[in-house]
Structure 1
Amino acid sequence: MARRMMSLLPRWSSRVFSVELDGAPFYFAIQKEHQGEEVPRVFANIQKHDRCYSLLVCSRDRIQRAKFYGELKDKLLRDLPPECHLSPMSSFLPNVKDSLIKGYFVKGSPESSSPIERLLSDLIRHDPVLVCSYMRGEDGLQWTQHLWSDTESQGMEMPNDYYVVPSAAPDYHPSTLNIINSDVFYSFNEACDVLKKCGDIIPEAKSVLELLPSRAEARNKPDFPVIVIEGLDATGKTTLTESLRDTLGATLLRSPPQCLSPWRARFDQEPPLIRRAFYALGNYITAEQIGQEGMKAPVIVDRFWHSTAAYAIATAVSGQVANLPGEGSEVYRWPSDLLQPSLVVLLTLDPEERKRRLRDRGQGETNEEQELDHNQLFRLRVEEAYRRISGPACVTVDASPSADQVLQQVLLLIRGKCHL
């Protein structure tokens, strides 16, 4: 199994490894000879006799890879000794697209090493994982990486041992290497292909596929303007969109569309690759509805592709806002086969006021909304991703005044931009 996994990972010694600790990535590399380098920060604070391991999920089938990665975390949390510490990790070739593979870094005490290694030996025999152990040198100043083979259950390891050395942070956060058509989808066909491949393991995928428009229908250009209202929950989108509908005699649509509601809970349980493809396809269904309704009247849309992309980008890229792809990155481009709105308004609100409004509403929150509330960095990444998306870019409107004042301000934008 391990040798087959290695065939999927050429240039092993050129790869960089990243371990997430307290939401920040720490990097290290490997090399065949040690030249007096310092101990990487990942290993600097590990107790003298602790043992460390890494598991990387490798498979040519990205559906299998995504599913197993999520299942692996549950298995490790369930089966590892309770004193073990589990952290997300990844391996990648710097600046090489689609080179990122994900996994987990395990730290255990000397007493837990035997049960850990029994569990890892079983995994390497049956599952698409590549396992490494990390050993401290006698002088305590060097660490080595040992790549396990499929004979590891007999206590044998492959002869390929590498010294672990510090690595500078890459030019881009490693998650961005795989973000295109993995966390964010930029074409109907790419997202559709994921759900087609899920048909055997997720029966609901077939029901979703039956609702999809043809690509040509999704690109219809309506005669009337299309105005999208974006923003975090409790910024006043519902109130504003309904007021715009009544004031302009417009049609009001929502994304994801109502027809996907029966399956949202099901796909919310899936790993990002599958979940994001589901929501991306929801935008194309909404685009078909826009194309039809926009022939008769202006169309107001409560959320559209900006939301899908902003949340996906902010989830995939951890840590500080500076870790996001830079402004102008292709990550922020609009899908070439998706209908473009005439105007996108982004409602913004002071975080404390938004929390107050959420409490007053008393409604249950999605997992992502809960994350927004307790993780300020995530909220900042979402808001910044919204601002960086182009084609069209968002026009920001302060949602803190009264609902009528916000309505009047947005109507001025619409009249200026859309000539209504």
Structure 2
Amino acid sequence: MAARHVLPLLSRWSCRVFSVELDGAASYFALGEGREAEAPRLFARLLGAEQRCYSLLVRSAHCVRGARFYAQLRDTLLRELPRDCHLAPMCSFLPEERGSLMRGYFLEDRSESPSRTRAPPGGLAQQQRDALLVCSYRPDRDDRHWTQHVWSRDGGDRVETGTGLFVVSSEAPQNHPATLNIVNSDVFYTYQDARDVLTQCVDVFPEASSVLELLPSGAPSCVPPQFPVIVVEGLDATGKTTLTESLRDALGAALLRSPPPALAPWRARFDQEPPVIRRAFYAVGNYVTAEEVGRRAAKTPVIVDDFWHSTAAYAIATAVPGRRRNLPDEGSEVYRWPSDLLRPSLVVVLTLDPQEERRRLRDRGQEETEEEQELDTNQLFRLRVEEAYRRISGPACVAVDASPPADQLLQQVLLLIQAKHPKW
């Protein structure tokens, strides 16, 4: 990226806020032309130390390649950097501007060197040159204030720009910065947006072509079907399988699952990919399921095991770290139902005490998925998933305690269905 190509990117650079995850908490800073009396907390602890600091932010117009590069960047850094370098997750964003988030890492180089202005160690100047934006940070002459310098490419090498902007303190935003990129990055709200991501995957890994061949050319009809469509959501071991099969038998209904069996051969492959690719795969799976739901519900009731609510709830909870208060505000657009996706007439989410859930998994001898392992070990993640379920609207979930015996649980859900469809 030559210096002349950096200028358009940096035209609003001084308006950006930067966040570094330090010791389990986010430290925010911004850029300015003047000095503050004290350096921001992130840098104040470094004053007087013989260290070099860098930010490495991923930017790419190709969302699939950019996402894969970001996923590979940490492994590259850990492999190539000296042991005395400290790495912390960071991001940069324009406040309140959707889609402006850039992710990367903040690097403290503690290796011995007489210069604080050398290029980042480990050969990073050669890593994905056009996708990696490198900045360095160093104190000024009085050793009290820090400046940020953007590195551009001069020929084949990166060089530090001469004039830097002062690093100044910044307040934490009202919403966690990760919320800025949820729409069409972690959660998809139209069939075409999700399909477009898989189309970008074709020139990256061949399995995407096989999936695209199975997809409809456009979103299936979302006209309300004649018969009831009941979705059952819930974490593993809450009794979804038993309940959905019992509902099928009790109502003479069809039973469908999302992702559908047609996409099952590629599920494990897409689970290995970064979130934007993985979520796009599950999103199109909902539309394929919806197409079959529409056909079946013209003749009979339909029970669906997992649908859009679980896809969205897990994606939101994974994208936004920390406590529940970091989630997008209740009523945010991220909780809205896709306008082109068939709406079920009732969505039941089964809830269960975590200890009881673990006991059931042990009794069944079932291995947990990666996200279920995260739920098991990270209570904050579990709380975020549960809260995201609660906030999704259009339709909202009806929470049902899954601890009673299976026959009692079935009767409870049948009463909910009867209340929703008294004439059916």
TM-score scaled by structure 2? Answer: 0.93
Shift of 1:222: 2.1
Maintained 8 Å contact 2:82/2:122: no
Q: Is the aligned partner of 1:256 residue 2:259?
A: yes
- Residue 190 of structure 1 is matched in structure 2 by 193
Provide the rounded CA distance (Å) in 2 between the counterparts of 1:303 and 1:274.
Answer: 19
- Indicate the residue corresponding to 1:335 in structure 2: 338
Q: Specify the alignment match of 2:26 in structure 1.
A: 25
Match of 1:228 among 222, 226, 231: 231
The structural deviation recorded for 1:377 is 0.9
Question: Using the alignment, how far apart are the partners of 1:256 and 1:153 within structure 2?
Answer: 46
CA RMSD of aligned residues (A): 2.0
Q: Pick the aligned partner of 1:293 from 293, 296, 300.
A: 296
* Aligned match for 1:120, one of 120, 124, 141: 124
- In the alignment, residue 351 of structure 2 is paired with which amino acid? T
Q: Indicate the SS of the match to 2:220.
A: helix
Instruction: Indicate the residue corresponding to 1:284 in structure 2.
Output: 287
Structure 2 residue aligned with 1:51: 52
Moved more, 303-312 or 351-360: 351-360
Deviation at 1:319, TM superposition (A): 1.1
Q: Quote the residue 2:176 is aligned against.
A: 173
Letter in 1 for 2:237: A
**Superimposed CA distance per residue, residues 120-172 of structure 1 (whole angstroms, 9 cap, x where no aligned partner):** 33337x34211111113455432221211213987842123111111101122
Letter paired with 1:316: A
The aligned counterpart of 1:74 is 75
Partner residue, 1:417: 420
Please give the alpha-carbon distance, in whole angstroms, between the structure 2 residues aligned to 1:6 and 1:404: 66
Q: Is the 8 A contact 2:80 2:122 kept in 1?
A: no
**Distance in 2 (alpha carbons) for counterparts of 1:75 and 1:413:** 52
- CA spacing shift, 1:107–1:74, aligned 2, 3 Å: same
Equivalents in 2 of 1:61, 1:6: separation in Å? 20
Deviation, structure 1 residue 23: 4.5
Residue by residue over 1:227-285, the C-alpha shift from the partner in whole angstroms, topping out at 9 and shown as x without a partner, is: 00111111111111111111111111111111111111111111111111111000000
1:314-333 matches, cutoff 5 A = 314-333=317-336
| CA shift in 2, pair 1:107/1:360, >3 Å | farther
Q: Is the 8 A contact 1:145 1:161 kept in 2?
A: yes
For the 8 Å contact 1:5–1:129, the answer to whether it is kept is no
Over residues 206-238 of structure 1, what are the superposed CA-to-partner deviations in whole Å (9 max), with x where a residue is unaligned?
Answer: 111111124353425321100001111111111
Give the 3 Å change call, closer, same or farther, for CA 399–123 of structure 1 in structure 2.
same
The count of corresponding residues between Structure 1 and Structure 2 is 418
* Distance (Å, rounded) in 2 between the aligned partners of 1:366 and 1:285: 23
- CA–CA distance in structure 1, aligned partners of residues 336 and 139 of structure 2: 46
> Gapped runs of 5+ residues in structure 2?
none
- SS of residue matched to 2:76: helix
Question: Deviation digits for residues 278-314 of structure 1, max 9, x if unmatched?
Answer: 1100000000110111112111111100000001111
Tell me if structure 2 keeps the 8 A contact 1:242–1:252: yes
Kindly indicate whether the alpha-carbon contact (under 8 Å) linking 1:130 and 1:148 is maintained by their aligned counterparts in 2.
yes
Structure 1 residue 61 displacement after superposition: 2.1
8 Å Cα contact 1:231-1:347 kept in structure 2: yes
Q: Which moved more, 1:291-300 or 1:1-10?
A: 1-10
For 1:20-419, what aligned pairs fall within 5 Å after superposition? 20-36=21-37, 38-46=38-46, 48-111=49-112, 116-123=120-127, 126-137=129-140, 139-151=142-154, 156-215=159-218, 217-419=220-422
Distance of 1:366 and 1:342 partners within structure 2 = 29
What TM-score do the two structures reach when normalised by structure 1? 0.94
DSSP-derived class of the 2:18 partner: strand
Shift of 1:315: 0.8
Query: Matches of 1:200 and 1:152 in 2, distance apart?
Result: 29
Change (3 A) 1:253 1:194: same
Question: For the structure 1 residues 374 and 404, does the alpha-carbon distance in structure 2 shift closer, same or farther, using more than 3 Å as the test?
Answer: same
Please say if residues 119 and 158 of structure 2, whose CA atoms lie closer than 8 Å, have aligned partners that are also in contact. Answer: no
| Deviation, structure 1 residue 351 | 1.4
Looking at secondary structure, tell me which structure has more helix per residue.
1
Q: Distance in 1 between matches of 2:136 and 2:9?
A: 19
Change (3 A) 1:332 1:153: same
Give the match's secondary structure for 2:161. strand
Secondary structure of 2:400 counterpart: strand
Distance 1:133 1:95 in 2: 26
Question: Matches of 2:238 and 2:23 in 1, distance apart?
Answer: 30
Structure 1, unmatched stretches of 5+, are none
Provide the rounded CA distance (Å) in 1 between the counterparts of 2:199 and 2:281: 11
